Amino acid sequence: MGKQNKTRKYATMRRMLSLRGQRLKEKDRLKSKKKEKKNPSALKEREVPQCPSCLFFQYNTQLGPPYHILVDTNFINFSIKAKLDLVQSVMDCLYAKCSPCITDCVMAETEKLGQKYQVPLRITKDPRFQLLPCTHKGTYADDCLVQN
């Protein structure tokens, strides 16, 4: 006797339970859709048309060039990986004069990273960057940036 070949049958289809079948219990059956009555006291949803982003500066006159940008250690590292000049690329992005600002905590965080991060440390000591003093305890840069 030879070995029986079991081939996969492609034309067969699985039989599934219908949601209205007799084998299902009453609680599992498909419930008929009932129209919900509209409540006149409920809040009405409405769509607000989107406005161009340039109108933001038209109504908010406090924001304008020169922009002061708080820079983080990760921001500096990613600009190095992408081989971008930090100051020039920020100006190209915002189409305005920008002055990047670095807090004491970000400077301390960059110094803590050691020899591997000498290039970001040199970039942070650039005279084009404005150094902001910190008044809080510790050197956790994320909390410092949120406060400023």
User: Would residue 126 count as lying in a domain?
Assistant: yes
User: Would residue 109 count as lying in a domain?
Assistant: yes
pLDDT digits (tens, 9 = 90+) for 18-49: 766 777 777 766 565 566 667 767 767 777 77
User: Would residue 23 count as lying in a domain?
Assistant: no
- Specify the DSSP element, H or E, that contains 58: helix 54-59
Rg from Cα positions in the chain: 32
Q: For the chain, what percentages of helix, strand and coil (3-state, to nearest 5) are there?
A: 35, 10, 55
User: Would residue 136 count as lying in a domain?
Assistant: yes
Q: For residues 78 and 90, is the Cβ–Cβ distance under 8 A?
A: no
Q: Which two tokens stand for residue 126?
A: 């650039």
Q: Find the domain containing 142 and state its range.
A: 68-147
- Specify the DSSP element, H or E, that contains 108: helix 104-112
Does residue 3 or residue 68 have the better pLDDT?
A: 68
**Number of folded domains that form the chain:** 1
User: Would residue 100 count as lying in a domain?
Assistant: yes
Instruction: Report the pLDDT value the prediction gives residue 83, as an integer from 0 to 100.
Output: 92
User: Would residue 48 count as lying in a domain?
Assistant: no
At 112, which CATH number?
A: 3.40.50.1010
Q: For residues 95 and 53, is the Cβ–Cβ distance under 8 A?
A: no
